Structure 1
Amino acid sequence: MQPQAVIFDIGNVLIEWQPERFFDREIGEARRRALFAAVDLHAMNDAVDRGGNFTEVVFATAEQYPDWHDEIHMWHDRWIEMAAPEIPHSIRLLRALRAKGTPVFALTNFGVQTFDDIAAPHYPFLSEFDRTYVSGHMKTIKPEPEIYAMLEADCGIAPEALIFTDDRQDNIDMATQRGWQTHLFTGPQGWADRLVGAGLLTEEDAQ
């Protein structure tokens, strides 16, 4: 079945999301490894993605780990430097699909404040989706089935008519279980090829 709508993840699909790379640059790899071993920063981020207040969650974590207070605050104060740079070819694919009249959605694990107040103003293309499903607003995250079900109910498109790309296998696996067409994102060219193969774009469109 030719897809009726295309769903993009955002982190590592449209915008690089590499906190470890940021901290390697700022404090060195050895100290970064020690930080991430001592503090579960990804769990902290999941709490934000589930709808927790960004500032409150990060500052509370910093208070719990006084030896790493300054480094944890960097997650808050310099967050946009971790969510960078944008991936230009993926953005071109988003725009090419919309130019063809294909509905394009975002389904992303993202905090309310980090998306609405930081990322969206910094990256104007994030306003170009036909529908945007942000986990912080939905109070559930991928790969929990609830977030997929909420998208299905809202858009009204049959699962088998959706095609979804994400860089995490567990998120792809859940979408596949629900009957979605899927593509594990490892780079924009592979995604471009998949969209051409699905009949949604020509090779010229997908450049």
Structure 2
Amino acid sequence: MINTIIFDLGAVLIDWNPNYLYSTIFTEDERHHFLTTVCTPAWNEEQDGGRSLAEGTQLLIEQFPEHEENIRHFYGRWAEMLGGEISGTVALLTQLKESGNYKLYALTNWSAETFPIAEERYAFLSWFDGIVVSGAEKDRKPFPSFYKTLLNRYAVKPEEALFIDDNLRNIKAAEELGIRGIHFQNPDQLKAELIAYGLIS
């Protein structure tokens, strides 16, 4: 029986995309090159895992001094990468919350330095019974220790939990710990799977 639902945030509930910022700076080809060779997802994940924004920025500037200005924009203008809430998923979160049947948590790879911006912008973040932020823990998905932090902190039994994430790598890591997973693709697909689990109607 599932009594706990754990959400990822970025690309599930919150529309975050570096392209929103860099489309105002580069052509499409330039933007693609910059975000796949300079400010890469792997580099950003290190800040999500606890490395300071200042250190991460400086390391990259040393590697790519010709891109210094645009590297500094990544965190200097980070709020411009935030879109709105993903309304279809927030509607499902609302339904789950209002049912009163489930504990709701968030497990997110997110820098501790930028997460307060999201907390101010998205009121639904206050609905969770707990949020575990990778940057604050200096740990991140897909490492098992990060999932265990949430399980232990909130006394969650893996077999009673369902985890929703847009990254299949993170879903597989949760399943290794005995947590059922839904690989999020869009709100309609998520709704269908929640109905299939009998969690909503």
What TM-score do you get using the length of structure 1 for normalisation?
0.89
Q: Distance in 1 between matches of 2:171 and 2:36?
A: 27
CA-CA distance at 1:171 after TM superposition: 0.2
CA shift digits 1:143-191 (9 cap, x unpaired): 1111111111112121011001100110000111111111000001111
- CA distance, structure 1, for counterparts of residue 198 and residue 37 of structure 2: 48
Aligned residue number for residue 87 of structure 1: 86
1:34-85, Cα deviation, whole Å (9 max, x unpaired):
3235425323311211112224422442354221112112211221222323
Please state if 1:172 is matched with 2:161: no
* Percent sequence identity over aligned pairs: 34
What is residue 133 of structure 1 aligned with on the other side? 132
- Where does 1:5-20 land on structure 2 (aligned, <5 Å)? 5-20=4-19
Give the 5 Å matches for 1:1-207: 2-20=1-19, 22-101=21-100, 102-116=102-116, 118-202=117-201
Are the equivalent residues in 2 in contact too, given 1:17–1:82 (CA < 8 A)?
yes
Report the AA paired with residue 57 of structure 1: G
- Residue 120 of structure 1 and its aligned partner are, at CA, apart by 1.0
Give the unaligned 5+ runs of structure 1: 203-207
Measured in 1, the distance between the counterparts of 2:194 and 2:54 equals 38
3-state SS in 2 of match to 1:51: coil
Mark the CA change 1:148 to 1:60 in structure 2 (over 3 Å): closer, same or farther: same
* TM-score (structure 2 length as normaliser): 0.91
The residue identity in structure 2 corresponding to 1:26 is I
State the 1:6 CA deviation.
Answer: 0.5
**Structure holding more strand per residue:** 2
Residues 8-34 of structure 1: CA deviation (Å, up to 9, x unaligned): 000110012322454234311121133
Separation in 2, partners of 1:37, 1:147 = 26
What count of residue pairs does the alignment treat as equivalent? 200
Supply the distance in 1 between the matched residues of 2:133 and 2:54 (Cα, whole angstroms): 18
**8 A Cα contact 1:5 1:161, kept in partner:** yes
Q: What is the alpha-carbon distance in structure 1 between the residues aligned to residue 64 and residue 118 of structure 2?
A: 27
Greater Cα offset, 77-86 or 58-67: 58-67
Are residues 82 and 4 of structure 1, via their aligned partners in 2, closer, same or farther at CA, if it must alter by over 3 Å? same
**Contact residue 52 and residue 136 of structure 1 kept, 8 A:** yes
**Counterpart AA for 1:200:** L
CA distance in 2: counterparts of 1:3 and 1:26, whole angstroms: 46
RMSD: 1.7
CA distance in 1, matches of 2:90, 2:21: 23
